Amino acid sequence: MAVLEKGSPRRQSRSIIEWLNDERVRSVLYQAIVAIAVIAVARYLFVNTSENLQARGMSSGFDFLSGTAGFSIAWTVLPYEAGDSYFRVYLVGIVNTLIVSLVAIVFATLLGFIMGIMRLSKNWLISKIAAWYVEILRNTPLLLQILFWFLAVFSLLPPPRGSFGLLDMFFLNNRGFYMPAPVPGAGFDYTMIAILLAIAATYAVAVWAKKRQMATGQQFHTFWVGLGILFGLPILVFLATGSPLSFDFAALKGFNFQGGVSVPPAFCALLLALMIYHSAFMAEAVRAGILSVSHGQTEAAYSLGLRPGMTLRLVIIPQAMRAVVPPMISNWMNVVKNSSLAIAIGYPDLVAVYMQTSLNQSGHAIEIVAMVMLFYMSVSLTISMALNYYNKLVQLKER
């Protein structure tokens, strides 16, 4: 350095080259170039689009959100009427998307674990059934599966008068699926409080049991005791307060069912298709995760005297989860994104209600597309932030 500071011109030009060859300088430089390029492209698109919009006399801005949408939506979870605003439509769409996605995620995950474990079974028939399930479902397009369930199954169901019924509580027909609706009576709050208390108590017992084991070595059947508290306490409180919960049953009145809760055929078809299609991918994630733990781990645990159940809990599952959770979560994101295929069968999800009718009526293409993208991106980013946090938590330390 001391030599360079004297600075003849030749030396200086060489020092610039050296500076450019510095790894850190390079990385900053490349990032700067990329950032400038991205901004330039974005600016071009923005200017271009707003000129186009002006040329066609279309307005921009978010004022339209408070305007009346004026159309009806076939099925909503949030209460909605034709006189509500566009913003209300946005929220209704989001909730419709989330409800079908969440239910699909829960069942797909369960099914995925079952199928993934079945495929590892030593029983030839069971593992073959699971293998066929996975291979058929993940190798046919999702859209095809959605249309199959909608057109070939749910649309061909009998009309309400010929419904399939179960225990006179559940009914399935070409109008949808009907279930009893729970109606909490006076004093049901106590049961809700009992549920919260039971969760807290179970947690406390688990902490206490762990502490005691570490101190004295005695083990405790946390699982069974926890299960007892979790169910026992709320049930006791529920019975003691006079069972304050009744059900509103769906019943055939005239040509259709009244009462209860119901979901339309499009919901059923979309739910089943998403659930079954994604469960196949999840099954693969589960299988790969379990296989990623070498048999040597089991042998080492057995040779130390650990029983199979403990080996699974303390050695295999903690390692398998590291491999299972990341692909599992990215599958969850895919369920949310793929639910937008709802548009093909007329299920009123966010894309269907907000990007079709609302967009056509209001003309605010940019704003509407941006809002819809914002929703999907927030969901994805939230999930991947959780995933990164989990990965950091469980990452194996290597040299």
Partner 1 sequence: MSLETLDSGQEHIASAISDEVVIELSKVNKWYGEFHVLKDIDLTVYKGERIVICGPSGSGKSTLIRCINRLEEHQQGDILVNGVTMDTNLKNIDAIRRDVGMVFQSFNLFPHLTVLENCTLAPIWVRNTPKAEADRLAMQLLERVKIPEQAAKYPGQLSGGQQQRVAIARSLAMNPNIMLFDEPTSALDPEMISEVLDVMVGLAESGMTMLVVTHEMGFAKRVADRVIFMDQGEIVEQNTPGEFFNNPKSDRTKLFLSQILAH
Residue count, binding to partner 1 (CB under 8 A): 30
Q: Tell me the closest approach of the beta carbon of residue 109 to partner 1, in angstroms.
A: 22
Q: Tell me the closest approach of the beta carbon of residue 287 to partner 1, in angstroms.
A: 20
Pairing of strands 261-263, 176-179: antiparallel
d(CA 161, CA 176): 13
Q: What's the alpha-carbon Rg for the chain, to the nearest Å?
A: 29
Q: Using the structure block, give the residue that is written with the tokens 């937008």.
A: 340
Interaction between residue 303 and partner 1 (CB under 8 A):
yes
Interaction between residue 240 and partner 1 (CB under 8 A):
no
239 HSE (CA, 13 A, CB side): 5
Interaction between residue 48 and partner 1 (CB under 8 A):
no
Under a CB-based contact definition with an 8 Å cutoff, are residues 122 and 114 in contact?
no
Interaction between residue 9 and partner 1 (CB under 8 A):
no
Q: Which of 95, 117, 306, 325 binds partner 1 (CB under 8 A)?
A: 306
d(CA 61, CA 84): 19
Output 121 or 294, the one with its CB closest to partner 1: 294
Interaction between residue 315 and partner 1 (CB under 8 A):
yes
Letters for 317-336 (x = contact with partner 1 by CB under 8 A, - = none) are: -xx--x--------------
Interaction between residue 219 and partner 1 (CB under 8 A):
yes
Taking CB under 8 A as the binding criterion, the range among 14-22, 145-153, 191-199, 316-324 that sits at the site for partner 1 is 316-324
Q: Helix, strand, coil % (nearest 5) of the chain?
A: 70, 10, 20
Start-to-end CA distance of the chain, whole Å, equals 35
Q: Tell me the closest approach of the beta carbon of residue 247 to partner 1, in angstroms.
A: 46
Q: How many CB atoms lie within 10 A of CB 1?
A: 5
Taking CB under 8 A as the binding criterion, the range among 212-220, 252-260, 275-283, 373-381 that sits at the site for partner 1 is 212-220
Amino acid at 301: A
Q: Which of 1, 17, 214, 393 binds partner 1 (CB under 8 A)?
A: 214
Interaction between residue 392 and partner 1 (CB under 8 A):
no
d(CA 363, CA 355): 10
Which residues of the chain form contacts with partner 1 (CB under 8 A)? 213-219, 294, 296-297, 299-307, 310, 314-315, 318-319, 322, 394, 396-399
